[in-house]
């Protein structure tokens, strides 16, 4: 063994040790960050086990005793309405919105990203423009439209528009992803006699899977948490969704039930976290296998 190869070995060892330390450091930083991120959740879960009189007087997030009464009191309200109804309703609205957004936004995005039709730039600007007006100033005219259609107190105002690509956010997202795909693939397919629609369904859609997954996650979470439009269009308790149910516990001039509110907020996060974990896995094994580009 020559001296140089020994020094090579020690250098290699040192490098490995540095790498190990770097890994430990990385995890320490990530875990520290994770604690800051998750602290509010822990605090909320802690509060959900506290009686109302402790929530505001005790800063310590850890409850004195584990009492699940808030969960029982929260799930079935005194009025007999239960969160089972709210969960089902929220699921219906979310499912409708997801399907609507996936279909309609991908169509529009394909046109904006790939087809060179007349006035494309103008319509694209209009599409972005629809995101720029604060929604408060269009609420009233919108309400009048849905009232005229006799759609109040139904899920229709919350679902039907999604089938007509009203969420410009997702169109724009998909446009950006489609524009990241090289056109050569479609040119080749065109030579093979593939039509527009075939190119869209067979080439584009599989390739923008990460964007479709993102759309699914966001539509689910935002619809699940959306408050104002659901409040506006749903009137009776049999139509109420989770986010309306959660606000029901609070009353600035009467008996608020904070404990049950925290308990139900905690439970309402379960589906969202599950959906997120499930779909973000799809994000991970998404595209790596398709081997395009380059």
Partner 1 sequence: MGDNTAGYLFLLPWFTGLSLFMAGPTLVSLYLSFTDYNLLDTPNWIATQNYIKLITQDRRYHTALRVTLTYVMVAAPVNLAFALGLAMLLNAKIAGLSFYRAVYYIPSLLGGSVAVSILWRQIFGLGGIVSQILALFGIEGASWVSTPSHALWTLIILHVWQFGSPMVIFLAGLKQVPAELYEASSIDGAGPWRQFWVITLPMLTPVIFFNLVLQIINSFQAFTPAFIVSGGTGGPLDSTLFYTLYVYMQGFGNFRMGYASAMGWILLVIIGVVTGLAFLSSRYWVHYDDAK
Partner 2 sequence: MPDHSDGAVRTRRRDLLLGATSLLGGTALFAGGVRAEDAKIKMRIGWWGSDDRHQRTLKLIKLWESRKPGAVMTAEYGGLIGYSDKISTEFAGRNAPDVLQISDNRESLIAAGRLLRLDDYIASGQLNLSDANRSVLETLKVDGKLYSIPWGLACGCFFLDATVFGDLGVALPGPNWTWDEYAEIARKISKAAPKGLYGSADIWAPAGTRAFYPFEFFLRQRGKTAFTPLGKLNFGASELTEWFTFWDDLRRAGAVPPAEVTALENGFETSPIITGRAAMYPINSSIASSLQGLTKHKLIVMPLPHGLGSKALPGPQYGPFVNTNMQIYVNADTKYKTQAVQFLDDITNDPEFGKIQLMSRGVPLSSKIAAMEMPDIAPIEQSMVDMVQFVQTHATSQYVAWPKSGSQIQDLMQRAHQEIAFGQAKIPNTVSKFFDEAGLIID
Using CB under 8 A as the criterion, which residues of the chain lie in contact with partner 2 when the complex forms? 52-53, 55-57, 77-79, 139-140, 143-144, 147, 152, 227-228, 231-232, 235-237, 240, 244, 247-258
Minimum Å gap between C-beta 251 and partner 2 is: 4
Of the candidate residues 28, 103, 153, 198, the single one contacting partner 1 (CB under 8 A): 103
Task: Indicate which of partner 2, partner 1, none lies near residue 244 (CB less than 5 to 8 Å, by partner kind).
Answer: partner 2
Q: Find the shortest distance in angstroms from Cβ 256 to partner 2.
A: 6
**Residue 287 touches partner 1, criterion: CB under 8 A:** yes
Among residues 13, 30, 76, 88, the one that binds partner 1 under rule CB under 8 A? 30
Dihedral sign for Cα 88, 93, 96, 102, please.
Answer: negative
Based on CB atoms, which residue is closest to partner 1, 84 or 256?
A: 256
The yes or no reply on residue 11 touching partner 1 (CB under 8 A) is: no
Cβ atoms 220, 269 nearer than 8 A? no
Size of the site for partner 1 (CB under 8 A): 99
The reply on whether position 32 binds partner 1 by CB under 8 A is no
SS3 136: helix
Contact 158, 229 (CB under 8 A): yes
DSSP-based three-state secondary structure for 76? strand
CA-to-CA dists, residue 194 to 97, 175, 191, 199, 219, angstroms:
31, 21, 7, 6, 32
Q: Residue 72 binds which entry of partner 2, partner 1, none, with Cβ cut-offs from 5 to 8 Å by kind?
A: none
Partner whose binding site includes residue 17, from partner 1, partner 2, none (CB under 5 to 8 Å by kind):
none
Nearer Cβ to partner 1 (86/110): 110
138 scored as a contact of partner 1 (CB under 8 A): yes
Least distance in Å: CB of 61 to partner 1? 9
Burial of residue 12 (number of CB atoms within 10 Å: 0-12, 13-18, 19+)? exposed
Report the C-alpha gap between 267 and 264 in whole angstroms: 5
Rounded-to-integer distance, Cα 239 and Cα 157, Å: 13
Closest alpha carbon to 261 in 248, 275, 272: 248
* Given 7, 153, 176, 235, the residue binding partner 1 (CB under 8 A): 176
Name residues whose C-beta falls within 8 Å of residue 247's C-beta, 6 or more positions apart in sequence: 227, 231
Q: State the nearest-atom distance from the C-beta of 241 to partner 1, in Å.
A: 14
21 near partner 1 (CB under 8 A): no
Helix locations, the chain, DSSP H: 3-47, 52-55, 69-75, 83-114, 120-129, 139-148, 156-159, 168-178, 184-191, 196-199, 205-207, 209-225, 228-233, 242-247, 258-285
Binding mask 209-228 for partner 1 (x = CB under 8 A): -xx-xx--xx--x---x-x-
- Smallest distance, partner 1 to C-beta of residue 269, A: 6
Closer residue to partner 2 (CB): 78 or 294:
78
């Amino acid at each position: 063994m020559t001296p140089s190869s020994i020094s090579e070995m020690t250098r290699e060892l040192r490098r490995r040790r540095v790498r190990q330390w770097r890994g430990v450091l990385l995890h320490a930083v990530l875990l520290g960050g994770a604690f800051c991120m998750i602290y509010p959740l822990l605090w909320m879960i802690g509060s959900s086990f506290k009686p109302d009189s402790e929530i505001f007087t005790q800063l310590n997030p850890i409850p004195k005793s584990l009492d699940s009464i808030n969960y029982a009191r929260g799930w079935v309200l005194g009025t007999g309405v239960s969160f089972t109804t709210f969960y089902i309703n929220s699921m219906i609205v979310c499912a409708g919105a997801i399907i609507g957004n996936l279909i309609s936004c991908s169509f529009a995005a394909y046109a904006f990203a790939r087809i060179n039709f007349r006035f494309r730039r103008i319509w694209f600007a209009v599409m972005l423009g629809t995101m720029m007006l604060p929604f408060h100033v269009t609420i009233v005219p919108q309400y009048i439209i849905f009232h005229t259609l006799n759609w109040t107190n139904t899920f229709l105002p919350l679902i039907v528009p999604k089938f007509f690509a009203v969420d410009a956010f997702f169109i724009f997202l998909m446009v950006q992803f489609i524009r990241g795909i090289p056109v050569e693939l479609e040119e080749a397919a065109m030579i093979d006699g593939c039509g527009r629609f075939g190119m869209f369904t067979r080439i584009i859609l599989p390739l923008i899977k990460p964007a479709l997954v993102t759309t699914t996650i966001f539509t689910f979470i935002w619809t699940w948490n959306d408050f104002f439009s659901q409040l506006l269009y749903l009137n009776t308790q049999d139509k109420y969704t989770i986010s309306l149910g959660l606000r029901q516990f609070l009353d600035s001039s009467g008996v608020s039930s904070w404990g049950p509110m925290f308990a139900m907020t905690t439970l309402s996060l379960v589906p969202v976290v599950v959906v997120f974990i499930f779909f973000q896995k799809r994000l991970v094994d998404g595209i790596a296998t398709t081997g395009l580009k380059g």
